Structure 1
């Protein structure tokens, strides 16, 4: 492996001079700089990025911590973060926490050891104090942790109300809800939105709400249990698209049809929602915009540029397809 000493020897200069050229620090004459750059090119020298990070206290790397990489929503979000970071000259390290506090803390420690310049995270377990103790820029995405932490979320309650009202407009009389985990803020907001629409209906009670844990298999089981308990249900609002797809499968398993017997609507707008049979009606989040804004905001903080806003609550829209 070619070292910085080899470059210095090839160019006929000192190691310190090569270092000044690499780090753009200190005076180097134009002729000397060209000789060093030529030597680097001829020897195909690759600087030790860890050493450069230690020297410059900057790695041009950011961390991204998400709770479940198997949920199609998060890879789409990660793609937007990576695209934007790459355009701005940064690399992304992706970490999957499974929503567990031990894994989240472990990844925080690992990312700090790698001298990342900042972190984008979607967390339900980390506190405001833990994040501030990192002393590096952090942006929260998809889930709000604290008003003091830069955040990008969407209109969860508004979207849930829109979904439930849409099913009512389609003539559905008994609308159930497959919610996400009770410890997740956006799952609670979506459940609250649903309840605001149907909560005063004479037929409504808590047994029309089941927990699908934001997972397909759990949603299939929950939907079967729900429909066996309440065969009169003719509409389902699922708090994410993954669970909505599970609900479609459960309805089929029970010998019923979507949407003829039971209309189903999800929340997210993942690409997979267009590939189901029937295609899924959904409340679409601006997933790419969220990742794009999160990466751009984080890098603005890292580079100490002026920040116009530090909290975004982006709008959602209903996309009608075949499942309703």
Structure 2
């Protein structure tokens, strides 16, 4: 592999001149620039990207921190971020925090050391001071870490109200909401949407809480069906939770949707791969990831965003788990 010294020797110029051509900084005559470019092509010289990032304090890399790679929602989100980033010439570095604040901090510190140009984060929110103090451009995606950050979310509240309305319209009279973890903005908003709709309709309801994980939902469902046999409609805060409840219900011989109707939230692909197919509140997952990436690149380029919070509507998709 050719070195910068060999390029300089081939072109008949100094190493400093080659460096100025590569970094597009300082004056270089047209003749010298042409000689350097010709030498680079002849020797097939590849600039050291690490050295260049140290010099410019930039890397053409975007850091993406997600809380749980096993949740199907986040890989679909990451795909959109990667697709759009590549269009603009950026590489995405994906980090899985496991919802651990210490891991989030380590990743952010690492990104600072590697001079990433910007960060997209779907965090729990407990480390918000890290994002505020960071000089790196940051966009929050799906989960609001701090109200001062540019944020892209779906309309979780309205989506939850629409899911609750649908269960009531389909004849369910004894409803339950399996909410996501408290303190996570989407889970809190979906919970509030359910509560407000039920209160407006003057129905009683049951609330249980689950992590956004299939196994956790299955464990909860085992006890739930033992103690709440009267429930005939369940709105779950994620598709993963909904599938966990569906799986346990079918094992017990509970007919879906005849005995119990179930609605999830997210609209991930596997909702169509199970049977009966899952009725769900579909988030515009790809659009959310794409918008967050474009916003971040805009900020990286020194431009201001028109607003701080971008809220995208959800869509109700009716399938086999409702009547």
Q: For this structure pair, what is the TM-score category when the shorter chain's length is used for normalisation?
A: over 0.9
Q: Tell me, yes or no, if structure 1 residue 159 matches structure 2 residue 156.
A: no
* Structure 2 counterpart of 1:323: 321
CA distance in 2 between counterparts of 1:219 and 1:27 reads: 64
Quick check: 1:229 aligned with 2:227? yes
State the Cα deviation string for residues 9-68 of structure 1 (Å, max 9, x = none): 222221111111111122333333233223222322221112111211211111110100
Structure 1: where are the runs of 5+ without partners?
Answer: none
Superposition map of 1:86-101 within 5 A? 86-101=86-101
Q: Does 1:193 align with 2:193?
A: yes
> 1:294 aligns to what?
292
Alignment of 1:77-156 (within 5 A): 77-156=77-156
Moved more, 37-46 or 136-145: 37-46
Q: What secondary structure does 2:152 align onto?
A: strand
Q: In structure 1, what is the Cα distance between the partners aligned to 2:33 and 2:9?
A: 14
With 7-16 and 276-285 compared, the bigger mean Cα shift is at: 7-16
Give 1:127 deviation, angstroms: 4.1
Alpha-carbon distance, 1:306 to partner: 3.9
Q: Output the CA distance in 1 between the equivalents of 2:31 and 2:239.
A: 60
In 1: Cα distance, 2:278 partner to 2:311 partner: 24
* 1:215-234, Cα deviation, whole Å (9 max, x unpaired): 00111111221111011111
In the TM superposition, residue 285 of structure 1 has moved relative to its aligned partner by 0.7
Contact 1:224 1:254 survives alignment (8 Å): no
Q: Secondary structure at the match of 1:2?
A: coil
| Alpha-carbon separation, structure 1, partners of 2:272 and 2:226 | 28
> For the structure 1 residues 299 and 126, does the alpha-carbon distance in structure 2 shift closer, same or farther, using more than 3 Å as the test?
farther
Is contact 1:99–1:125 with CA below 8 Å preserved after alignment? Answer: no
CA shift, 1:151, in A, is 0.7
**Two-structure CA RMSD over aligned residues (Å):** 1.6
Is the partner of 1:25 in helix, strand or coil?
coil
Classify 1:83/1:234 alpha carbon distance in 2 versus 1 (closer, same or farther; 3 Å).
same
Q: Could you tell me whether the CA contact under 8 Å between 1:241 and 1:267 is conserved in 2? A: yes
Kept after mapping to 1: 8 A contact 2:105/2:130? no
TM norm structure 1: 0.95
Alignment gaps of 5+ in structure 2: none
Residue deviations 1:236-288, cap 9 Å, x none?
11101111111110111111121122111111111111111111111011111
TM-superposed CA distance for 1:172, in Å, is 0.8
Question: Are positions 1:219 and 2:217 aligned together?
Answer: yes
Q: 1:202/1:221 Cα in 2 relative to 1: closer, same or farther (>3 Å)?
A: farther
1:64 aligns with 2:49: no
**Corresponding pairs, count:** 322
Structure-2 change in CA distance of 1:60 and 1:126 (3 Å): farther
